[in-house]
Structure 1
């Protein structure tokens, strides 16, 4: 045992550190990637709130409500991929809930929900916007304006940010699934 004052025991100059206990790699990886996944999910929820604000006029008219204040925003009609992407918030909440107790089942559900409701709508959005985006870059033509900017540029930025967030989230989830796998499975694989 070390003491702050007094002599050091004979033969312990500090070079015998290699045999001391240390934290196993899966706990280090788990702790680090849990934090990263939670930050990624937090950013996803923030983007989801922005999307919910953007879709508010369309959602209110979809459910039969009529708010004149929302109609004054003069936003373009919501596209189907935007509604589909909004469901990815459910997957992100499931991912958030999986981290406190290392719940692999919930984490796998998060990964599946992210692929179905996150990545697929983004791919459809990219396919839908490619002609408008090329027309904007070549001729500076655009059809809609949102918040004083061409809507196609804002949609492209949103899709780029979301694709990065979903990619990082899936990567962190895969690393966590590997780290949370029981040790007996790892020993059987050897």
Structure 2
């Protein structure tokens, strides 16, 4: 033991600190997984804001429908996809397993399910655009179905990543609580 005012403890040269600086692997994994989930949540918020702005613009008629197309049916339930992100954000600080489980289940229900429904809803329009080169809905001059499919591809990857990393985080938290119970 050292003190600020006194000499160093006998029998140590100060190089015996390496073993005390190691962090348990599940804590390292938890920190890295939380970081990945936070990054994906930020990307999800950007996607959510884009869809929410389209819905808001068309609802309040801020632009004509020629500039910003009416939202597809799937976009309205997708707006609920903010809830799983909020729940996972609430689960992170105190490693709350129940919030994380609810977040994972609601991500499938409010995030992935509307995207799958949207892919099916927009498929005939995309098929018509591909076969005949005709688009009837536009978002700032671009085909609405093309823009929304691009957004959906990114959103599916983001939500799949969130669910995957949440499951791995859940496993890390569960392993650490099981180790504590064994002791």
TM-score when scaled to structure 1?
Answer: 0.78
Equivalent in the alignment of 1:137: 130
Equivalent in the alignment of 1:57: 57
SS in 2 for 1:142: coil
Whether the 8 Å CA contact 1:41–1:93 is kept in 2: the answer is no
- In the aligned structure 1, how far is the partner of 2:114 from the partner of 2:97? 25
Provide the aligned C-alpha RMSD in A: 2.8
- In the aligned structure 1, how far is the partner of 2:89 from the partner of 2:180? 29
Offset of residue 73 of structure 1? 5.8
- In the aligned structure 2, how far is the partner of 1:49 from the partner of 1:187? 41
Gaps of 5+ in 1: 2-8, 10-16, 61-66
**Quick one: structure 1 residues 186 and 139, their matched pair in 2 at CA, closer, same or farther if it must change by over 3 Å?**
farther
Offset of residue 137 of structure 1? 2.1
Q: How does 1:97-176 map to 2 (within 5 A)?
A: 97-176=90-169
How many residues were matched structurally? 171
- In the aligned structure 2, how far is the partner of 1:57 from the partner of 1:36? 32
What are the superposed Cα offsets for residues 14-72 of structure 1, whole Å, 9 maximum, x if unpaired? xxx8xx45322211110000000011111111111111111013444xxxxxx5xx143
Whether the 8 Å CA contact 1:126–1:156 is kept in 2: the answer is yes
- In the aligned structure 2, how far is the partner of 1:188 from the partner of 1:101? 18
SS in 2 for 1:48: helix
Offset of residue 139 of structure 1? 2.3
What are the superposed Cα offsets for residues 85-142 of structure 1, whole Å, 9 maximum, x if unpaired? 0100121111112111111111111111110010000000011111221222232121
Equivalent in the alignment of 1:30: 30
SS in 2 for 1:87: helix
SS in 2 for 1:138: helix
**Quick one: structure 1 residues 164 and 124, their matched pair in 2 at CA, closer, same or farther if it must change by over 3 Å?**
same
TM-score when scaled to structure 2?
Answer: 0.81
Whether the 8 Å CA contact 2:26–2:176 is kept in 1: the answer is no
SS in 2 for 1:28: helix
SS in 1 for 2:74: helix
Offset of residue 77 of structure 1? 2.0
